[in-house]
């Protein structure tokens, strides 16, 4: 369950990700903090929570199976026959986009 703390400069939402790591985010308005806290909990319940730092890893590292801990490769799982390392990152992107658009 997320918690909201009053801070001098606004409000801090503290929550745990699906792996149990503590995270936090700052907001100026209480209503924004409450909305974020609800969204985090709903996303975790639905299994659609996305690591906010997930975009920090280069696609080439995802391509070679070095995904950060606590993330999943659901897009890669969409490829026919499972995931195999690709030499061309652009080809990988094209396959992912085509697969998602055709679904």
- What total number of domains does the chain contain? 2
Co-location of 41 and 69 in the same domain: no
What H or E segment, with its residue span, contains residue 89? helix 89-102
- Condensed to tens digits (0 to 9), the pLDDT of residues 55-88 reads 666 655 555 555 554 555 555 555 555 555 545 6
Co-location of 32 and 62 in the same domain: no
Co-location of 62 and 37 in the same domain: no
Range of the domain at 71: 55-102
Co-location of 59 and 98 in the same domain: yes
Co-location of 37 and 60 in the same domain: no
Dihedral (CA of 75, 21, 6, 34) sign: positive
DSSP string computed for 15-79: EE-TTS-EEEEEESSHHHHHHHHHHHHHHHHHT----TTGGGS-HHHHHTT-PPTT---HHHHTS
Co-location of 68 and 90 in the same domain: yes
Co-location of 64 and 96 in the same domain: yes
- Condensed to tens digits (0 to 9), the pLDDT of residues 3-34 reads 999 999 999 999 998 888 899 999 999 999 99
Confirm if 49 and 36 have CB atoms less than 8 A apart: no
Question: pTM for this structure?
Answer: 0.54
């Amino acid at each position: 369950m997320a918690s909201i703390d009053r801070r001098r400069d606004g409000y801090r939402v503290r929550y745990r990700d699906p792996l149990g790591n503590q995270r936090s985010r700052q907001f100026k308005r209480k209503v924004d903090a409450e909305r974020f806290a609800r969204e985090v909990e709903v996303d975790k319940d639905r299994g659609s929570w996305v690591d906010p730092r997930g975009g920090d890893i280069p696609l080439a590292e995802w391509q070679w199976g070095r995904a950060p801990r606590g993330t999943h490769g659901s897009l890669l799982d969409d490829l026919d026959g499972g995931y195999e390392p690709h030499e061309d990152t652009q080809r990988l992107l094209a396959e992912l986009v085509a697969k998602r658009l055709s679904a």
